[in-house]
Amino acid sequence: SQARLRGVAIAPGTSFRIAESPWHPAVRISLGSTTEGELRAGLSVVAKLLLGDAEHLLLAI
């Protein structure tokens, strides 16, 4: 994904559902032992992706 290419791991909200109940489009952000600067940089990547164009298909050979 574009996030992974920028050093940020994102999982869809559906990965963390408890049951087959209705869900809202979301991502889960996990905060571990990181510095404030790393957190700001990671959230900046997420914000840029949310505000940008839809992800283009990536081709890996």
Whether 37 is in a domain gets the answer: yes
Q: By residue range, what is the domain housing residue 39?
A: 2-51
Identify the band that residue 44 occupies on the pLDDT scale cut at 50, 70 and 90: very high
Q: What is the DSSP letter of 6?
A: T
Whether 59 is in a domain gets the answer: no
Whether 35 is in a domain gets the answer: yes
Over range 19-29, report the average pLDDT.
73
Distance (Å, whole) CA 32 – CA 41: 14
Identify the band that residue 58 occupies on the pLDDT scale cut at 50, 70 and 90: low
Mean of the per-residue pLDDT values for the chain? Answer: 77
For residue 43, what are the CA distances in angstroms to 37, 47, 50, 56?
A: 10, 6, 10, 21
Whether 60 is in a domain gets the answer: no
Identify the band that residue 32 occupies on the pLDDT scale cut at 50, 70 and 90: confident
How many domains does the chain divide into?
1
Whether 57 is in a domain gets the answer: no
Whether 11 is in a domain gets the answer: yes
pTM score: 0.62
